[in-house]
Amino acid sequence: MNNLWDHTGAKGAGYAQPAPMVPESELRLATPLLRASAQRWPRLSEPEMVRHYTNLSRRNFGIDTGFYPLGSCTMKHNPRVNEVIAQMPGICDVHPHQPEHHLQGLLSIFHEMQHMLAVCAGMDEVTLQPVAGAQGEFTAVRCIQEYFRERGESQRTRIVVPDSAHGTNPASAAMAGFEIVEVPSTEDGRIDLEALAAVLDDTIAAMMITNPNTLGLFETDIAAAAELVHGVGGQMYYDGANFNAIIGRTSPGLMGFDAVHYNLHKTFSQPHGGGGPGSGPIGVKAHLAPFLPGPVVDVRAAEDGERTVEAGRWFHWREPEHSIGKVQQWHGNAGAVLRCWAFYRRYGRDLRTMSEHAVLNANYLRHAIHREAKDAGVDHLFVDGARTDVAKHEFTLSMQPAKEALGVTAMDIAKGLLDMGYMAPTVYFPLVVPECLMIEPTETEAKDTLDQFAKDFVAVVGTDPETLHAAPVTTPVRRVDEVYAARNLCLRVPEEDL
Ligand SMILES: Cc1ncc(COP(=O)(O)O)c(C=O)c1O
């Protein structure tokens, strides 16, 4: 049974809504909103239902099924203990509208999370509200915008992004009403300070950049870039999607940034395939803190009679003075924040080891792939995307030589890897690398997995072009016409099935 709508089941089976326990209300919905006929629902017994969803899940690919080297997405193992903690009744059965004295335990967790994130990033204050990295970007950019309005600097209408930036950076800035100024990277893929200096003036509100950048390279000139941007009165915005590579070793605050978003679902722990659910808190330096969305969790000395969970400390909500307003309710995706808190609690100071292992794994895999390719005689079919020795937590390969020699594209290789039982790496990003494959193994993969992937990757590169053009042939869905799908996007159940 692939489609629930095909299945009406045995008559009378399934679930029937019980009779209401309260009298029917006099209030009625407006006529155009009322259904003219009863809604048709599939009739299923519990085993049929369980089989349906279990079978659907087996058609999917996830980090629990296999290696998922999707660059930039940091698909790491999610420890199960986090689920246990996030689902404890005292944590998941409370509601933010309950009075503060019911919530002291939960508020202390959120307060600790805000504090930990601020310390790790070298920021002064944090809001947990945004529910994705992209929403964090938008929120921080809005705070920067309001900050300049308050200062009477409304002429700052432009935001600088490097040409290697993730697409969400210019998109978030444009959504907030900014004009985007793109600066080219140097030959080795890093910030071009001369090109940056050339676009800076008092119309610049901020520069948005990630470090390590999207090529997996640490921006060694970041402090100089910050000085240039601050020199014209602009703000530095850190896209924290790549925080996994540096956490515990350095911080955006030390590099000169004023605001950052964290992709909790990448750096910490939260299942986030298929677009969610994520968590994208932001941290800011003190001058931007009054503009944060509220409420944030604060702490004060407990008064007589207040029953505390931490001696002498009373946790409470606080609305920042010039808040831009809410971007989500309360703590956004509270469950995601809780899982990430549990993750951080288990690592503690070892977060530094975590980032070291992420970088080690990426560099090990990168060199293993090049070595295997050389041994197999296919090393002429791809080149390294970054012209440098050491990558950070991810690396890029360009399949341009394979395209020129054999007509084999990055997409063909990605599809071939699906047939080998892997999730494909990220393709065609960053745009500055032609025919790009972006690979991020994360710290949670074992050496054997990396060795096997290197061998299998090289085997795919050496596969004949005809086979690769036809791949994937082993997956439940074969190669789709992506252009057709994008142009004729259909996300609705067909009318006749309703
Ligand atoms: C560098 C970078 N910035 C921002 C984002 C956006 O984060 P999210 O997917 O949580 O919106 C991503 C996501 O892949 C990213 O890789």
pLDDT of residue 275: 66
pLDDT score for 252: 98
Least reliable range by pLDDT among 12-16, 374-378, 459-463: 12-16
Dihedral angle computed from the Cα positions of residues 185, 385, 270 and 280, in that order, rounded to the nearest 10 degrees: 10
Average pLDDT, the chain: 92
Q: Inform me whether the pLDDT recorded for 206 exceeds 90.
A: yes
Q: How far apart are CA 24 and CA 37, in angstroms?
A: 20
Q: 322 CA to middle of ligand 1, Å?
A: 27
pLDDT (tens digit per residue) in 17-65: 788 899 888 887 888 888 888 776 777 778 888 888 898 888 889 999 9
Report the C-alpha gap between 181 and 179 in whole angstroms.
7
Distance CA(414)–CA(378), nearest Å, equals 17
Distance CA 151, CA 101 (A): 39
pLDDT at 72: 92
Q: How far apart are CA 468 and CA 477, in angstroms?
A: 16
Mean pLDDT across 159-176: 96
Distance 422 CA to ligand 1 centre (A): 22
**Which amino acid, one-letter code, is at 476?**
P
Mean pLDDT of all residues in 5-19 = 65
Higher pLDDT among residues 88 and 45, named by residue: 88
Query: In the predicted model, what is the mean pLDDT of residues 300-307?
Result: 93
Number of the ligand 1 atom closest to the C-alpha atom of 263: 10
Give the pLDDT confidence score for residue 52 in this predicted structure: 87
Atom of ligand 1 nearest to the CA of 280: 10
Overall CATH class of domain 352-484: alpha beta
- pLDDT reported for residue 49: 84
Which of 7-16, 24-33, 328-337, 484-493 bottoms out in mean pLDDT, i.e. has the lowest?
Answer: 7-16
Mean pLDDT of 89-110: 92
What spacing in Å lies between the alpha carbon of 426 and ligand 1's midpoint? 12
pLDDT band of residue 8 (cuts 50, 70, 90) is: low
| Measured distance CA(407)–CA(491) in Å, rounded | 33
Single pTM value for the model: 0.90
Per-residue pLDDT tens digits for 373-423:
999 999 999 999 876 778 899 999 999 999 999 999 999 999 999 999 999
At 419 the pLDDT is: 97
Q: Which of 281-295, 336-350, 401-415 has the least mean pLDDT?
A: 336-350
Cα-to-chain-centroid distance, residue 388 = 26
Q: Which residues contact residue 415 at a Cβ distance below 8 angstroms, ignoring those fewer than 6 apart?
A: 424, 468, 471, 472, 479
Site residues for ligand 1, CB cut-off 6 Å:
72-73, 132-134, 166, 168, 210, 214, 239, 241, 263, 278, 280
Q: Looking at the domain that runs over 81-350, which CATH code has it been given?
A: 3.40.640.10
Mean pLDDT of 130-150: 97
Ligand 1 centre distance from Cα of residue 438 (Å): 14
**pLDDT per residue over 264-277, tens digit each?**
999 998 988 776 68
Q: Residues 221-243: pLDDT tens digits?
A: 999 999 999 999 999 999 999 99
Of the pLDDT bands very low, low, confident and very high (cuts 50, 70, 90), residue 498 is: low
- Nearest ligand 1 atom to the CA of 266 is 10
CA of 367 to the centre of ligand 1 (A): 26
User: What pLDDT shows up at residue 7?
Assistant: 65
Residue type, 342: A
Q: Where are the domains positioned within the chain?
A: 1-24+39-59, 81-350, 352-484
Residue 1 has a pLDDT of: 53
What's the whole-number mean pLDDT along residues 427-455? 96
Reported confidence tier of residue 196, pLDDT bands at 50, 70, 90: very high
More confident residue, 174 or 329: 174
What pLDDT shows up at residue 13? Answer: 54
Pocket test for ligand 1, best of 168, 243, 440 (most atoms within 8 A of CB): 168
Contact 433, 215 (CB under 8 A): yes
Q: Whose CA is nearest to atom 10 of ligand 1?
A: 133
Query: Which residue's CA lies nearest to atom 9 of ligand 1?
Result: 133
- Report which of residues 216 and 368 the model is more confident about: 368
pLDDT band at 187 (very low <50, low <70, confident <90, very high): confident
Ligand 1: which atom is nearest the Cα of residue 210?
1
Is the pLDDT reported for residue 12 higher than 80? no
- Percent of residues, the chain, with pLDDT higher than 70: 95
